[in-house]
Structure 1
Amino acid sequence: MAHILLIDAHPDKKEGHLVHALADAYEEGASEDNDVRRINVSDLRFPILHSPEDWLHRKPPVAIREAQQDILWADHLAFFYPLWLGDMPALLKGFLEQVARPGFAIDMSKGFPRKLLTGRSARIVVTMGMPALFYRLVYRAHSLKSLKRNILNFAGITPVRATVVGGVDSETARHRALAEMAVLGRRGR
């Protein structure tokens, strides 16, 4: 039995968003054989970091410390978010800046950063209106690669797999993606 943490990072709490439905489908599949926890980033309250001193020296708020404990508990993390302005929503970026602090995600005490979140894997699920192939070929999935390489891998989380759900206005694409999430959740991948 794996410990799986879902991170639903759609900034809008309203029901009806595909991101929420995908996270629900993944959670339902994962719950069959795994222990699952979930963070809805839109429910958390935390300040935006404004300086390196904030990141290095300010104590994270309670909601962030609780999220960090969930991350430490997890064997596998599953991130769900919509592509906004070609990148992750600002709320997810702010959450990750708060969570991935020195002493938690990395150890900077010996000069070169040491990865502190090894032994965990991740799945990134991104939704968008454009076709997924267009995003991968034309935009080279730059924001997805940035999250994988510059945040998750940097902290030691590997392997990181990705699912890009394009053409979200298509009912066929939505149904296919929901079915895929249930399967991935059952597999804990």
Structure 2
Amino acid sequence: MKLLIIYTYPNHESLNYAFLQKVLKGSGENSNIKELQVLDLYEEGFDPRLVFNEQQRRRDMHTDPTIEKYRKQILWADKIVFIYPIWWGRPPAMLLGYIDQLFASNFAYKDKKGHFPEGLLKGKSVVCVSTMKGPTHYPLLWLHNSHKILMKRALFNFVGIKKVKFFEFGNMESPKGNQTKKLEKVYHYFKKVAY
């Protein structure tokens, strides 16, 4: 299995970075994972802004040469891992900008007759590791599960990725947030995951 980790947090001394380290440690001890790449969007200097004009058209995003290497990473990967905070009930703008550019028509999906497109990324799986300041059940009870619906239904299922696993951790700024236990949970998952 080939693993692509997309890390989206601007601080390498953060809890999110600790989750990245646990994913790397568990993956390094997993014989099912043969190859691994990490894309740190902030360290990479990824530009999340969309630019559409006479030279750059939305319908041509799937061939934009400036993001070709990122398209190749997605095609290469069997499993894609996203590590990010939940801010205002959704992923940060940096990650959403990556999604807007990379999960484009004629690369991630193709329009066809009917209500739904053909997903072009079938056979891949996704894991979302997300952290938030608020309580663990806040997205479910207050936001009607909008974060998971956004990521699973509106994005991944749309492009053909049906297998999506969530680690959605709340209370992460609290001294009673069980951070160590949650870090170990992620480590053990990646140490054993087969696909």
Q: TM-score with structure 2 length normalisation? A: 0.85
> Is 1:73 aligned to residue 76 of structure 2?
yes
Q: Amino acid of the residue matched to residue 85 of structure 2?
A: P
| Aligned counterpart, 2:37 | 37
Q: Deviations over 1:122-162 (max 9, x none)?
A: 11111001111233222222023211111111111121111
**Alignment partners' CA distance in 2, 1:167 and 1:180:** 16
Worse overlay, 128-137 or 47-56: 47-56
Rounded to whole Å, the distance in 1 between the matches of 2:81 and 2:185 is: 14
AA of the residue aligned to 2:140: R
- Name which of 160, 169, 177 aligns with 2:182: 177
- What is the Cα deviation at residue 61 of structure 1? 4.6
1:20 aligned residue: 17
Q: Percent identity?
A: 26
The answer on 1:148 being equivalent to 2:152 is yes
CA contact (8 A) 1:55 1:98 kept: no
Q: SS at the partner of 1:168?
A: coil
TM-score when normalising by structure 1: 0.88
Structure 1 runs (4+) greater than 6 angstroms displaced: none
Measured after TM superposition, the shift of residue 50 of structure 1 is: 4.7
- Residues of 1 paired with 2:120 and 2:16: CA distance? 29
CA deviation vs aligned residue, 1:41-66 (integer Å, no higher than 9, x gap): 1124335225597331244353x321
1:8/1:81 contact within 8 Å kept: yes
The CA distance in 2 between the partners of 1:44 and 1:150, in whole Å, is 26
Does 2:93 match 1:90? Answer: yes
1:139 aligns with 2:140: no
Query: Structure 1 CA distance, aligned partners of 2:136 and 2:190?
Result: 21
| 17 and 54 in structure 1: CA distance in 2 versus 1, 3 angstrom threshold | farther
Task: Flag structure 1 segments of 5+ consecutive residues without an equivalent.
Answer: none
Residues 177 and 61 (structure 1), Cα distance of their counterparts in 2 relative to 1, 3 Å cut:
farther
Q: 1:133 & 1:55 partners in 2: Cα distance?
A: 37
The number of residue pairs the alignment matches comes to 184
Q: What RMSD in Å do the two structures reach over aligned CA positions?
A: 2.0
CA contact (8 A) 1:55 1:97 kept: no
CA contact (8 A) 1:6 1:77 kept: yes
- Aligned to 2:178, the other structure's residue is in SS state helix
Counterpart CA distance in 2 for 1:48 and 1:134 is 29
Aligned to 1:120: 124
